[in-house]
Amino acid sequence: MPKVAIIGSGLIGRAWATVFCSHGWTTALYDPVPGVAKAAKAHIRRNLAELAELGLVEDPKGSAARLIACGSLAEALAGAALVQENGPETVAAKIAIHTEIDTLAPASAIVVSSTSFLFASLWAKDLKHRSRVLVAHPVNPPHLVPIVELCPSPWTDPKVVEKARGLYARAGQVPIIVRKEVDGFVLNRLQAVLMAEAFDLVGSGVVSPEDLDKTIRDGLGLRWSFMGPFETIELNAPGGIPDYNRRYGPSLTRLTGRKVFTAANEAAIMAEWPGEQTPERIARLSKWRDSRLAALKAHKRGAKKKPA
């Protein structure tokens, strides 16, 4: 398996190291603060042990043996196929660390940043190997939440993006491609809209914060744990997504004040949506959804209660 260099061994770096070493990668840890990379190995071993207890890691000791705490950036980068940078969320910090990486990493290495909001174009434009640089934004913690948003800069080689997608998939992640740089990428934009509405509903006296959380936890979140919003609405109308848009688009436009439930946007969705929108298919998928919801309800009933 290839070697990954984890640059920055804090919370996110440790989680990424857990992901890669548990999937067979030689995992080199580096942190500019002396002793942090070495100390991170103990945290990662605990992560691996906890995952093994749940059957999510087969060989925690073998996985831990693939961890290397490096004393220098050059040592961590030597021979790396992938560089996962987890430094501070400032453009100045990104420019500084990526300038060093650009000089020291193999010319063939894919270099990614775990940034939540910054675009690669803000720091990569003057790099010699800028065609191999992109964002790989995870959700905290990535060893438990597998989504990773791959967002290239205008100069990133599309072949590099596809190769990165394959590498993350092989490491058990669920990579998506953000096709153009947009503030917040995809996940944070969706989360921002939901949180803004949550703050407004509670602040304006419509609902208590506990009841709002119940609405997500015991309502929307149940389906969203194994279905996306388009999968969800596909099963909420007999004729699928187009039927849903015709039935509920006007009401959603009134609620949101956004004229986005249009025929043009519907066409863009359906141009890439798999599966025919037939009553027979919808009924078949609805039966599958209901079986998964029943299984999830049974799991939640037996789950440990949240500590006070």
Q: Residues in the chain, how many?
A: 308
For residue 78, give the nearest of 111, 113, 106, 37 by alpha carbon: 106
Predicted structure pTM score: 0.91
146 phi, psi to nearest 5 deg: -85, -10
Per-residue confidence (pLDDT) for residue 214, from 0 to 100: 97
In terms of DSSP H, where are the helices of the chain? 11-21, 36-53, 60-65, 73-77, 91-104, 121-124, 158-170, 187-203, 209-215, 221-224, 229-234, 240-256, 263-272, 279-302
The whole-angstrom separation of Cα 124 and Cα 2 is: 24
Compute mean pLDDT per 10 residues along the chain, 308 residues long, and list them: 94 96 97 95 96 95 97 97 96 97 96 95 95 96 96 97 97 97 95 97 98 96 95 94 96 95 96 91 94 94 80
The separation between CA 169 and the C-alpha centre of its own chain, rounded to angstroms, equals 12
Per-residue confidence (pLDDT) for residue 306, from 0 to 100: 79
Q: Tens of pLDDT along 17-35?
A: 999 999 999 999 999 999 9
Per-residue confidence (pLDDT) for residue 206, from 0 to 100: 98
Q: Tens of pLDDT along 231-283?
A: 999 999 999 999 999 999 999 999 999 999 999 999 999 999 998 889 899 99
